Structure 1
Amino acid sequence: MTTPNELRLLPWLGSGDKPCYLSTDDPDGYMSRFADRVEAIQLGTASQLLEEASEVLDSQDTSPDEMRRLAKELTGALRDIFRVATSRGRLPATCDPGEAAY
């Protein structure tokens, strides 16, 4: 078991949209590897959305509905990436995404 300050923030939310944490002394355990795979998928999705966003923004034919859909997907991806960065120690776990200074 790890101490509370060594808990890993998992890349998904729990019930009530609350953060989920993993307490383990095995970084190669099943849940750790599963969380790594989920993070990799989230990063890949964000990369694809970024590419799509560039194309959509360059197009003169983009409808307002397409822009709203893209904005919603980008918002979700950004939330996921923020959680991954927090989990990997790039941002403090107590940091509010709206207050993060970059």
Structure 2
Amino acid sequence: MTTPHDELRLLPWSGPDGKPCFLSADDNTGYLARLADNTEAMQLGLGSELLDDALAVLSDAHADADEIRLLAADLTGALRDAVRVATSRGHRLATPTPSTR
């Protein structure tokens, strides 16, 4: 039996081979769903903190190339996580059904 795409939740982590992981569940209160919710919240929180750090580094006229390169790598990871969270949440939004008049 296959699960329709809109019943799959994209999880906020990848498998060992880098491929996306999905959760198929009717109950959003299970252990893995709660773990995913907490992981998403942590990822978004860390991204917000990193944004504050980025503003400080970029406003420092004496920041060296290594520091800016590290910042770019960290921002790339945070953006990847934020896009994954947004994609997952977007897929879980209720799709409106067209009304017939």
What TM-score range do you get, normalising by the shorter chain? 0.7 to 0.9
How many angstroms apart in 1 are the aligned matches of 2:78 and 2:66? 18
Q: Which residue number in structure 2 is paired with residue 82 of structure 1?
A: 83
Structure 1 stretches of 5 or more lacking a match?
A: 91-102
Question: 1:14 touches 1:20 (CA, 8 Å); kept in 2?
Answer: yes
Percent identity at matched positions? 60
Task: Compute the displacement of 1:15 (Å).
Answer: 2.0
Q: Which residue number in structure 2 is paired with residue 94 of structure 1?
A: none
Normalised TM-score (structure 1): 0.83
Q: Which residue number in structure 1 is paired with residue 72 of structure 2?
A: 71
Task: Compute the displacement of 1:40 (Å).
Answer: 0.3
The one-letter amino acid paired with 2:55 is: S
The one-letter amino acid paired with 1:26 is: D
Residue correspondence of structure 1 range 38-53 to structure 2 within 5 A: 38-53=39-54
Runs (4+) off by over 4 Å: none
Normalised TM-score (structure 2): 0.84
Q: Which residue number in structure 1 is paired with residue 95 of structure 2?
A: none
- Largest Rg, 1 or 2: 2
Q: Which residue number in structure 2 is paired with residue 34 of structure 1?
A: 35
Task: Compute the displacement of 1:3 (Å).
Answer: 2.5
Task: Compute the displacement of 1:25 (Å).
Answer: 1.1
